[in-house]
Amino acid sequence: MAEKTLVILISGRGSNMEALLDARLPARVAAVVSNIPQARGLGVAARRGIATAVVDHRAFPDRAAFEAALAAEIDRHRPDLVVLAGFTRILTPPFVERYEGRIMNIHPSLLPAFPGLDTHRRALEAGVRIHGCTVHFVTHALDSGPIVVQAAVPVQAGDTEERLAARVLAQEHRIYPQAIRWFCEGRLRVGRDGAVAVDAARAADGALTAPPLEAP
Ligand code: GRF
């Protein structure tokens, strides 16, 4: 199977991006693109020899102009998958539709609970016992779209936003590489009902092996 090409979009720290780079995926990261020039992740990527680019949303008169420039930068690399990894700009339907079925996001909650911002604070305020994170294909509705994989993180007595966020982040770093590996292996199928199936892996001898069970 031909190696897949990824473009990763970030806005800040870039720890999910780093987890993907560390994961030795059967893929080439062609570029890391940020809308924020100071994003820490840009330096991390550059030090690892990955091409970086900045498309600063503040330099454009409107969202459409920004997204046109962003799409041009992405498309230069002809990626099989666009990976949102802490990318904080809301993307409009025309942009998302351009990459339908080949754009993924990671969100720090168990969707459909807590879409949007401040997910850890809101989870604590709601008193949920189980929190977590979700990898999903991106559709035009915010933080929705076919769910590829989730990890559950129990809320502990006395948890602060920071402590809970750290435990969720550790799970993000585990499930995002897993989801992208499945994508690269051609094993993800999105059904008409929006449910994602993970095909069993085909071993070198042609035998089928079941996908691993995901423990948190
Ligand atoms: C992560 O919690 C991710 O789920 C959310 O933004 C945060 C980005 O962190 N979308 P990082 O930039 O990957 O370290």
Is 148 among the domain residues? yes
Question: Containing domain of residue 46, as a range?
Answer: 4-185
Residue nearest to atom 6 of ligand 1 (CA): 86
pLDDT single digits (tens) 171-191: 999 999 999 999 999 999 999
Is 193 among the domain residues? no
Q: Answer yes or no: is the C-beta of 32 below 6 A from any ligand 1 atom.
A: no
**Residue found under tokens 């559709």:** 139
CATH number, domain with residue 68: 3.40.50.170
Is 203 among the domain residues? no
Assess contact for 26 and 57: CB atoms under 8 A.
no
Q: Is 57 a catalytic residue?
A: no
In whole numbers, what is the pLDDT of the chain averaged over residues? Answer: 94
Is 73 among the domain residues? yes
d(CA 124, CA 120): 6
- The rounded percent of the chain whose pLDDT value lies above 70 is 93
Is 59 among the domain residues? yes
Residue nearest to atom 8 of ligand 1 (CA): 86
The rounded Å distance from CA 206 to ligand 1 centre is 38
* Rounded-to-10 torsion of CA 9, 10, 11, 13: 180
Which of these is catalytic: 107, 120, 136, 173?
107
Higher-confidence residue: 3 or 204? 3
Q: pTM of this prediction?
A: 0.94
d(CA 120, CA 151): 14
Residue nearest to atom 2 of ligand 1 (CA): 108
| Ligand 1 probe mutation, 120, 169, 176, most atoms within 8 A of CB | 169
Is 97 among the domain residues? yes
